[in-house]
A and B are shown apart, each in its own frame.
Chain A
Amino acid sequence: MRRPRHRVRSPKELAEAYFHEELSPAERERLTSSLREDAGLVRRFAEVARDEIMLFELHRAAEGAFDRASQGVETPCWATRRQGRRRSGLVLWAATVAACVLVGLVGFRLGGAAARERRGEAFPVPWAGRSSPSVPSGSQVSRCDSCSDGGRT
């Protein structure tokens, strides 16, 4: 709603607009001189100031209630929860990775063993494919004297 530029506002209108509008220097001057002469206008101006303060207080009270609620219950709670979530997320991630590696290794070994079993191969031993365990050259191998074949097999 555009205010017509030519319309001269009454002192009462100026008093009511004073707290939120930018008055022109001429309007300010007219309000000032009217306030000095008109006790009724002064009363109205004081009421406008009171209503203005009450509106600010009302909204501040609402803001205070919101802050109290957020400080007393929500903020620390969700801050803690968020930290907790972050920490448990890391633990979960590490545990998942470890579990995947473990399952992968076991699956690989079991799969390999099953395949060898199907092919009729012996259970894999580290020296599988060789004729006998490798013995480092020059090392002493004790004979099994109690064995029937003298420990040859």
Chain B
Amino acid sequence: MDSDELLRLFFAERPALEAYLLAATRDYHLTEDLLQEVAIVLVRKAEEYDTSRPFGPWARGIARRELASYLRARADEAAVLDPETLEVCAPAFETVWLGEHTEARKAALAECVETVSDGGRKVLELRYHERLSCPEIARALGRTVQAVYGILKRVKNALRECVEARLGEARP
């Protein structure tokens, strides 16, 4: 398989791989690093790919091996979900992105974030821009970790409802 075709398949599969790795690590930074490693291995092993079989499971197999080698090297950081459970979830990681108007959802999310209160926005920025953990956010804001959990839960629920409402309005 030529590299252009492989990269096309990789970018189509990327969101599902990203969700898989994020579910395994709960660390977006690490997920990005692992995804880069996966892309390198995919290109290196392009010749081994059997084009008669679906690309997703093959790519996920490589992601799983990269993840396992990382977890072996960092024995202190165990994956929260075990590999079997992740495999159960893997098809859903694909389907939520497929048949989804991703760009419309992203645009709706960007609009909805603008409607979040200042306090909620601050927590969102610390979490998703500064990439702080909840205990770190709690320290930064002088709040308890439970309070930060509560704010994030409320903001995420509000965002989900806002996005669904906007997508619902856009649907014919």
**A contact residues, range:** 35 or more
Residues from chain A with Cβ under 8 Å of B15 in the complex: 50, 53
Pick from A28-36, A77-85, A145-153 the stretch touching chain B: A28-36
B72 CB–A CB distance under 8 Å? no
For the residues of A in contact with B, the DSSP-based class is helix
Contact A1 B147 (CB under 8 A): yes
B26 CB–A CB distance under 8 Å? yes
Q: How far is the CA of A36 from the CA of B106 in the complex (A)?
A: 29
Chain A 44-87 interface mask (CB, 8 Å, partner B; 1/0): 01110111111111111011000000000000000000000000
Residues from chain A with Cβ under 8 Å of B82 in the complex: 32
Residues from chain A with Cβ under 8 Å of B89 in the complex: 35, 42, 45-46
Q: How far is the CA of A42 from the CA of B89 in the complex (A)?
A: 6
Contact B92 A16 (CB under 8 A): no
A43 CB–B CB distance under 8 Å? yes
Q: Which residue of B lies closest to A35 (CB)?
A: B85
B144 CB–A CB distance under 8 Å? yes
Q: How far is the CA of A50 from the CA of B28 in the complex (A)?
A: 12
Contact B146 A1 (CB under 8 A): yes
CB distance from A1 to the nearest CB of B (A): 4
A23 CB–B CB distance under 8 Å? yes
